[in-house]
Structure 1
Amino acid sequence: MIPPKPAARTGKASVRRFVRDFRSDILSAQSARLYRAWMAEFRGPFIHSFTCNDPKLVDLILRRRPMDFPKSPRMAAGLTPLLGNSSFISNGETWRHQRRIIDPAFERGRLRQSFAAMLAASDAGAARLLALADGQDIDIEPQTSHLAADVIFRTLFSIPIQDRIAAQVFAAFRDHQDSQPMVNAGGLLTLPRWLHFHSRRTKRSAARIRDLIGQLVAARQERISSGDAPPDLATKIMTTPDPETGETFTRAEMIDEVATFFLAGHETAASALAWALFLLAEHPEWQDRILAEGTARDFADMRNLNAARAVFREALRLYPPVAMTVRECAHAETLRDRPAPKGAQLVISPFHLHRHERLWDNPDGFDPDRWDSENGKTCQRKAFIPFSSGPRVCPGAGFAMIEGPLLLSAIIAACRIAPGDSRPVPVMRLTLRGKDGIRLRLTSRSG
Structure 2
Amino acid sequence: MSDLPPKPPARAERVSLWRYMRLFRDDILSAQPARLYRAWMAEFRTPFFRSYMINQPQLVDEVLKARPLDFPKSDRVGEGLRPLLGNSVFLTNGAEWQRQRRIIDPAFEGGRLRDTFPAMWAAGEASVARMGAGVAPESAQESIAPESATEGAEGHVVEIEEEMSHAAADVIFRTLFSLPIEADIASRVFHQFRAYQRTQPILNAAAFVPLPRWLPRGHRAETRKTAAAIRALITELTAHRMAEIEAGTAPDDLATKIMTTADPETGERFTTDEMVDQVAIFFLAGHETSASALGWALYLLARYPEWQDKVAEEAGSLPDTPDFAAMSRLKITRDVFREALRLYPPVPMMVREATCPETFRDRAVKPGSQIVISPWHLHRQTRLWDNPDGFDPARWHTDNGKACMRDAFIPFSAGARVCTGAGFAMVEGPLLLAMLVRAFRFERIAGDDPVPVAYLTVRAKDGIRLRVTPR
Q: TM-score by structure 2 length? A: 0.92
Distance 1:167 1:33 in 2: 44
Residue 375 of structure 2 is matched in structure 1 by 350
Deviates more, 1:216-225 or 1:194-203: 194-203
Alignment of 1:304-323 (within 5 A): 304-323=329-348
Deviation at 1:202, TM superposition (A): 1.1
Secondary structure, aligned partner of 1:235: helix
- Pairs within 5 Å for 1:319-334: 319-334=344-359
1:301 aligns with 2:326: yes
Pair 272,191 (structure 1): closer, same or farther in 2 beyond 3 Å: farther
Q: What is the number of equivalent residue pairs in this alignment?
A: 444
Matched, 1:169 2:195: no
Q: Tell me the secondary structure at the aligned position of residue 351 of structure 1.
A: helix
Q: Distance between the aligned counterparts of 1:431 and 1:322, measured in 2? A: 5
* Correspondence for 1:67: 69
* Residue 366 (structure 1) aligns with: 391
Amino acid of the residue matched to residue 99 of structure 1? R
What residue is the counterpart of 1:220 in the other structure? 241
Residue 48 of structure 1 and its aligned partner are, at CA, apart by: 1.4
Verify the 8 A CA contact 2:351 2:372 in the aligned structure 1.
yes
Write the distance in 2 (CA, Å) between the matches of 1:363 and 1:185. Answer: 33
Change (3 A) 1:190 1:315: farther
Shift of 1:22: 2.7
Q: Does 1:152 align with 2:157?
A: no
CA root-mean-square deviation: 1.3
Question: 2:458 aligned with 1:437, yes or no?
Answer: no
Cα contact 1:314–1:366 (8 A) shared by 2: yes
Secondary structure, counterpart of 2:18 in structure 1: helix
2:21 is matched by which residue type in structure 1? V
- Identity within the alignment, %: 60
Q: Is 1:425 aligned to 2:451, yes or no?
A: yes
How far did residue 204 of structure 1 move? 1.1
Alignment check: 8 A CA contact 1:46 1:192 kept: no
Residue in structure 2 matching 1:266, options 287, 305, 311 = 287
The residue that corresponds to 1:205 in the other structure is 226
**Residues 242-291 of structure 1: CA deviation (Å, up to 9, x unaligned):** 00000000111100000000000000000000000000001111111111
Matched, 1:236 2:257: yes
| Residue pair 2:24, 2:203 contacting (<8 A) in 1 also | no
8 A contact 1:49–1:190 mirrored in 2: no
Instruction: Please give the secondary structure, in 2, of the residue aligned with 1:433.
Output: strand
5+ unaligned residues in a row in structure 1: which ranges?
none
Q: Which amino acid aligns with 2:238?
A: V
Q: Distance in 1 between matches of 2:23 and 2:251?
A: 49
Q: Aligned partners of 2:227, 2:356: CA distance in 1, in Å?
A: 33
Quickly say closer, same or farther: Cα 1:201–1:300, change in 2 above 3 A. same
Give 2:198's match in structure 1, choosing from 170, 178, 183.
Answer: 178
Segment of structure 1 superposing worse, 19-28 or 311-320: 19-28
Residue 120 in structure 1 maps to residue 122 in structure 2: yes
1:139 to 144, 159, 168: 159
The offset of 1:17, in angstroms, is 3.2
Of 431, 434, 438, 1:406 maps to 431
Tell me, yes or no, if the aligned pair for 2:120 and 2:175 is still in contact at 8 Å: yes
Hey, what's the Cα distance between the residues in 1 that align with 2:209 and 2:99? Answer: 28
Cα separation, 2, equivalents of 1:299 and 1:319? 27
Secondary structure of 2:10's partner?
A: coil
Q: 2:5 aligns with which of 3, 6, 16?
A: 3
Amino acid at match of 1:273: L
CA distance 1:391–1:190, shift in 2 (3 Å) = farther
Trace 1:16-55 onto structure 2 (pairs within 5 A).
16-55=18-57
Rounded to whole Å, the distance in 1 between the matches of 2:250 and 2:205 is 41
Distance in 2 between residues matched to 1:186 and 1:345, nearest whole Å: 13
Instruction: Decide which moves more: 251-260 or 293-302.
Output: 293-302
C-alpha distance after superposition, 1:39-77 (max 9, x if no partner): 000112234100010101100000000000000011111
Structure-2 change in CA distance of 1:186 and 1:5 (3 Å): farther
- CA displacement 1:176-196 (0-9 Å, x = unmatched): 111112436644x46546573
Q: What's the counterpart of residue 285 of structure 1?
A: 306
| CA–CA distance in structure 2, aligned partners of residues 374 and 138 of structure 1 | 38
**Code of the aligned partner of 1:18:** Y
Determine if contact 2:395/2:401 at 8 Å carries over to the other structure: yes
Of 39-48 and 396-405, deviating more is 39-48
CA separation in 2, counterparts of 1:8 and 1:190? 25
Q: Supply the distance in 2 between the matched residues of 1:11 and 1:207 (Cα, whole angstroms).
A: 41
User: Which structure 2 residues correspond to residues 88-107 of structure 1 after superposition, within 5 A?
Assistant: 88-107=90-109
Contact 1:48 1:190 in 2 (8 A): no
Structure 2: distance between partners of 1:255 and 1:23? 28
TM-score (normalised: structure 1) = 0.97
* Alpha-carbon distance in structure 2 between the residues aligned to 1:112 and 1:263: 22
Query: By how many angstroms is 1:358 displaced?
Result: 0.3
**Secondary structure at the counterpart of residue 250 of structure 2:** coil
Letter in 2 for 1:70: P
